[in-house]
Amino acid sequence: MTRGGVDRATLVAVAVGGVVGSLGRWAVGVALPHSPGTFPWATFVVNVSGAFAMGVLVAFLVARPGTHRLARPLLGVGVLGGWTTFSALAVEVVGLGSDRHVQLALAYVAATFLVGTLAVGAGTALGRRVWVP
């Protein structure tokens, strides 16, 4: 049912997925803490794995056009939206730059975008193999 143009089921799916993804990201941060001036592995891991998972999810949704209407909001927007984090990456890059670790900050940005893009491609390729239409 909708109210004011918002589908309640979609809203709940995004919220539940967001809780799951955010708690997972928090757990990785606890498991992989980093000190100022060191490479932020937790954020790197969640962003790259999230990019890979998004590639797999997109391949699945393309191969299965009849998938439940809440699959994308739950998994793509909710879980993966909560799992990945651009804002943490931005804060960590600024922190590294402020701590005079400019080369590490630039390497972090470059590695995140390069490896993340490759991860989306790899996830999509894997998904296409697994879910051949």
| Digit-coded pLDDT (tens) for 66-94 | 999 999 999 999 999 999 999 999 999 99
Q: Please give the pLDDT value at position 2.
A: 62
| 96 band by pLDDT with thresholds 50, 70 and 90 | very high
Full domain range(s) for residue 25: 2-130
Percentage of the chain exceeding pLDDT 70: 96
Exposed/middle/buried for 35, CB within 10 Å: 0-12, 13-18, 19+?
A: exposed
Residue 6: which residues within 8 A CB-CB, separation 6 or more? Answer: none
Number of domains making up the chain: 1
C-alpha pair distances (Å), 131 with each of 38, 47, 53, 57, 82: 39, 24, 14, 10, 25
Per-residue pLDDT tens for 110-123? 999 999 999 999 99
pTM: 0.91
User: Rounded to a whole number, what is the largest CA-CA distance in the chain?
Assistant: 53
